[in-house]
């Protein structure tokens, strides 16, 4: 008997299906505070008067879906930890623009070692402007350390 997540079954049932949709809208002060805290100095991120003023490229990483994994996803055999984030900016995120963010399970994979198995779940949030133009993709990697039951 094993408590390990059935990766193939999970992939087949949940991969690439949008499980969360939300809207966001950034304001100017929020963008400047975010950029300055990161240490940005480039005027396009910290000066609202700059003609190309926009959010720093990592801002989409801060958007969070209402749930981490799809509804009906098997109970994780342990605490899922945030193992990393990747962001791919495609076009500027500007203040006052309504953004739509859709999240899906992008990948599930495992790494096995002598002390057990580590399973990684990658959720991808895709961010669009009101015209449907994709502005960014932001990935979150959740890792869980699994031990087979003896």
Partner 1 sequence: MSIASIADVEFGAQLPEFEPDTSLENVRSFVVAAGWDGPRFTDHEAARKEGLPGALVPGILSQGYLAAMIHRWAPDAFIENVDTIFRAPVLVDEPYRISGVVTDVDEDDGRVEIDLTLTNEQGETRVFGTAMVKLPIE
Q: What are the phi and psi torsion angles at 3 (to 5°)?
A: -95, 5
Q: How far is the CB of 61 from partner 1 (least distance, A)?
A: 5
Q: Which of 28, 82, 109, 147 binds partner 1 (CB under 8 A)?
A: 82
Residue 124 near partner 1 by CB under 8 A:
no
Q: Does 57 bind partner 1 (CB under 8 A)?
A: yes
Q: How far is the CB of 93 from partner 1 (least distance, A)?
A: 13
Cα–Cα separations (whole angstroms), residue 67 to 23, 88, 136: 14, 21, 20
Three-state DSSP state, 129: coil
Cα separation, 92 vs 60, whole angstroms: 11
Of 4, 11, 22, 30, the residue at the interface with partner 1 (CB under 8 A) is: 30
Are 5 and 148 spatial neighbours (Cβ–Cβ below 8 Å)?
no
For 48, other C-beta atoms within 10 Å of its C-beta total 12
Interface with partner 1 by CB under 8 A: which range of 13-21, 30-38, 101-109, 124-132? 30-38
Residues that bind partner 1 (CB under 8 A): 29-31, 33-42, 45, 56-59, 61-62, 64, 82-89, 139
């Amino acid at each position: 008997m094993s408590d390990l997540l059935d990766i193939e079954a999970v992939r087949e049932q949940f991969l690439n299906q949008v499980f969360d949709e939300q809207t966001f809208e950034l304001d100017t002060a929020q963008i400047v505070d975010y950029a300055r805290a990161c240490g940005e100095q480039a005027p396009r991120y910290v000066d609202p008067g700059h003609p190309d003023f926009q959010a720093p490229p990592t801002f989409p990483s801060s958007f969070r879906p209402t749930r981490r994994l799809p509804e009906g996803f098997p109970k994780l055999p342990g605490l899922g930890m945030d193992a990393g984030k990747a962001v791919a900016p495609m076009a500027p995120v500007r203040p006052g623009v309504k953004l739509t963010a859709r999240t899906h399970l992008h990948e599930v994979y495992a790494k096995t070692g002598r002390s057990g198995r580590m399973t990684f779940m990658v959720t991808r949030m895709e961010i669009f402007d009101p015209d449907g133009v994709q502005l960014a993709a932001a990935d979150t990697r959740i890792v869980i350390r699994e031990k087979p039951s003896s």
